[in-house]
Structure 1
Amino acid sequence: MNSVLGMIIAFDTDSDLREITEHRTVGAVQWGGRYRIIDFMLSNMVNSGIYRVGVLMKDKYQSLIDHIGNAKDWDLSRKNGGVTMLPPYSYSKKASPLVTGEYRGKIDALAGAVDFLQKNRADYVVVADGDIVANVPLDDVIDRHIKSGADLTMVCTKKQKDSPFTTYVELNRKKEAVDIRVGDCNEGKCKHAALGIYVMSRQYLIHMLSDCVTHNCIHFEREFLTRALMDGTVAGYLFNEYAVKVEDTFDYYRSNMDMLDKDVRNEVFKRTRPILTRIKDEAPTYYGDEADVEDCLIADGCRIEGKVKNSVLFRDVVIEKGAEVNNCIIMEGGRIMTEASLRHVITDRNVIIRDGRTMMGHENYPITIAKNATV
């Protein structure tokens, strides 16, 4: 699919992951024992034949750059195409006349990269958020968009929750959007939610960005989509498989815990559309004589000597003798020491829980512990 350019919005707009995103964006957050959340969108694009991808950044992007590197693990280390990292102000006002100053939202970020859009002669552009956990067949979305003749196609899922961050969509029988609302489902009339993936022609995107900047519009969902709906046709592509847009700590916790269900894992991780990530070679996990492990996802390089149940453990995690970990997410380098007890806790990288500590959250509001903390 050489005529399609991918644009990933890899900075935070509306999200609330508390301590987890103090040092990184949502897309760079570790997920599922070995992945980063942005891996899903990068893999979706590669699996659909999109080999030219721009990654738009704003702040806290060092972790993201370290993870993607030269993008060879996604088969995007290429002479022609590949990944282009687009930090803020990468294009001057002279090169990009739509640049207006500091990014206030997605429209400013896309407008700042208009020179990149103009230089890439692709026919179509996929604009996608980097905080989506889903295995989406973007090639099918693009085909549907072309056949529909719509100005813009947005990927939608069934409404799962009420949230001030969610973009709700009302579709007619032709699967065309008739109403788009942010944070308000209009008393249940909007039965679908935007997943954060949009397909349109490259020229249409450039035209709309110019129009939005001229009228001082900064919010993509409230203003860009509304103008597209008023002036043209917006089609909806219904994606009925597993999908989570990670908007808050609950979404992050729930999406990780969902992977303990084999049926959900099989729906997300497909052999025909693999989710790729940066490869790290580690020794196998060591299980001690007194280790008691039940229904967990555990990455390589761990040392388990205590009790672990219904949890997700990343690389190089240590669970010492007598420690109990239940319904938790322990990120890379975590160490849970003797007689510590954790329930419904998310620990960021390199967190140490000392001897005898007890911490208990709830599945609807798990405790989160910041990176490098010692408790």
Structure 2
Amino acid sequence: MKSVLGIIIAFDNDNDLRELTEHRTVAAVQWGGRYRIVDFMLSNMVNSGIYRVGILMKDKYQSLIDHVGNAKDWDLSRKNSGVTILPPYSYSKKASPLVTGEYRGKIDALAGAVDFLQKNKADYVVIADGDIVANIPLDEVIERHEKSGADLTMVCTKKQKDSPFTTYVELNRKKEAVDIRVGDSNDGKCKHVSLGVYVMNRQYLIHMLSDCVTHNCIHFEREFLSRALIDGTVAGYLFNEYAIKIEDTADYFRSNMDMLDKDVRDEVFKRTRPILTRIKDEAPTYYGDEAEVDDCLIADGCRIEGHVENCVLFRDVEVEKGAVLKDCIIMEGGRILSEASLKHVVTDRNVVVRNGRTMMGDEDYPITIAKNSTI
């Protein structure tokens, strides 16, 4: 495979995760008991032989930096490659002539890092959003892009829902995009959605960024992709395995609950393409004599003495005697005290639910409790 540069867009544009993103970006949100959402795209790149990765950030990025660190857990702590953290306008206007002085979205972020793109003499660039839960064979996507001769290839999946944040795509029989719409499914015409993963030639990307900046384009999906569709060929790579973009709390809740299904887990967590994350050594979880646990994902370091059903529990969670959890996600450091009853609830880190408290949400609109709260 020719040399490839990966860029992960790890800041928020359009999403509604409410309390979960008050202190962090979607990419840094904890997921699945022991992961962060950004782990999926980092792992996808490493599994596909992409060892030069830039992570574009905008704000609320301390949590993400703490998690990625030197990226050794993803085998990206290397002498001549590895991860490059790209905060807002990492390069000055003098170094990057496309920097305009404003920071309005993906195009500005990519334009601000044009010097990074020019220094890395890769043949191709994979641009990916950091809010994707999927195990995508990017090496196959790149190979398909080379064979198609298209200017740009976008990874698509079947339409799952109507959303104002989603980019919808209509493909012809040749798997070429003929229509791209944002937040509008065109009354069912667009049968696929973009996963926010794009492959293109590096020089083509630099040219398109220059063209977009000179025309004051700021929205990647509406303007960059539209110009690519009008002026050239945009191919679609259909990914038919499990994939979801985390755009709101319902997506976050559903994606975690989906992992309770073994068939879904087997699609996402493959032995040949492992999802890597930062390793933390914890003691095994303790289950009390009266603990009742049914169909759950529970990380190390927990203490379970109550009733837990259809839940995802992160590290160091404590559920006291008499507490009942059903269809809940409890992040690291959560404390559910005796006689508390929760259903369809998502708690951020270090949340304490006091004795006897009762809370009930819905699978389409789960209750979310902010970090460090006491209820």
TM-score grouping bracket, smaller chain normalisation = over 0.9
- Alpha-carbon separation, structure 1, partners of 2:288 and 2:210: 62
SS state of the match for residue 203, structure 1? helix
SS state of the match for residue 333, structure 1? coil
1:20 aligned partner: 20
SS state of the match for residue 212, structure 1? helix
1:184 aligned partner: 184
1:254 aligned partner: 254
1:276 aligned partner: 276
- Alpha-carbon separation, structure 1, partners of 2:186 and 2:334: 44
Amino acid at match of 1:249: T
- Alpha-carbon separation, structure 2, partners of 1:176 and 1:62: 39
Alignment: residue pair count = 375
- Alpha-carbon separation, structure 2, partners of 1:336 and 1:355: 8
1:121 aligned partner: 121
Shift of 1:339: 0.3
- Alpha-carbon separation, structure 2, partners of 1:67 and 1:269: 20
Amino acid at match of 1:236: G
1:222-301 paired onto structure 2 within 5 Å: 222-301=222-301
Shift of 1:101: 1.7
Asked whether the 8 Å contact 2:168–2:194 carries over to 1, the reply is yes
SS state of the match for residue 50, structure 1? coil
User: What is the root-mean-square deviation of aligned Cα atoms in Å?
Assistant: 0.5
SS state of the match for residue 349, structure 1? coil
Residue 137 (1) aligns with residue 137 (2): yes
1:109 aligned partner: 109
Shift of 1:2: 5.8
2:198 aligned partner: 198
Residue 326 (1) aligns with residue 326 (2): yes
1:75 aligned partner: 75
SS state of the match for residue 44, structure 1? helix
Shift of 1:102: 2.7
Amino acid at match of 1:259: M
SS state of the match for residue 224, structure 1? helix
1:41-60 paired onto structure 2 within 5 Å: 41-60=41-60
Cα distance change of structure 1 residues 144 and 2 upon mapping to structure 2, 3 Å threshold: closer
Shift of 1:65: 0.1
Residue 371 (1) aligns with residue 371 (2): yes
- Alpha-carbon separation, structure 2, partners of 1:203 and 1:322: 62
Shift of 1:90: 1.1
- Alpha-carbon separation, structure 2, partners of 1:49 and 1:200: 16
Asked whether the 8 Å contact 1:178–1:229 carries over to 2, the reply is yes
Asked whether the 8 Å contact 1:2–1:50 carries over to 2, the reply is no
Residue 212 (1) aligns with residue 212 (2): yes
- Alpha-carbon separation, structure 2, partners of 1:190 and 1:307: 44
SS state of the match for residue 204, structure 2? helix
- Alpha-carbon separation, structure 2, partners of 1:244 and 1:101: 34
- Alpha-carbon separation, structure 1, partners of 2:310 and 2:89: 44
Structure 1: segments with no counterpart, 5+ residues: none
Shift of 1:103: 1.4
1:303 aligned partner: 303
Structure 2: segments with no counterpart, 5+ residues: none
- Alpha-carbon separation, structure 2, partners of 1:186 and 1:349: 40
Which deviations, in whole Å up to 9, do the C-alpha atoms of 1:81-110 show, x marking residues without a partner?
Answer: 100000012110000000012310100000
Aligned sequence identity (%): 86
Shift of 1:188: 0.6
What is the TM-score of this pair, normalised by structure 2? 1.00
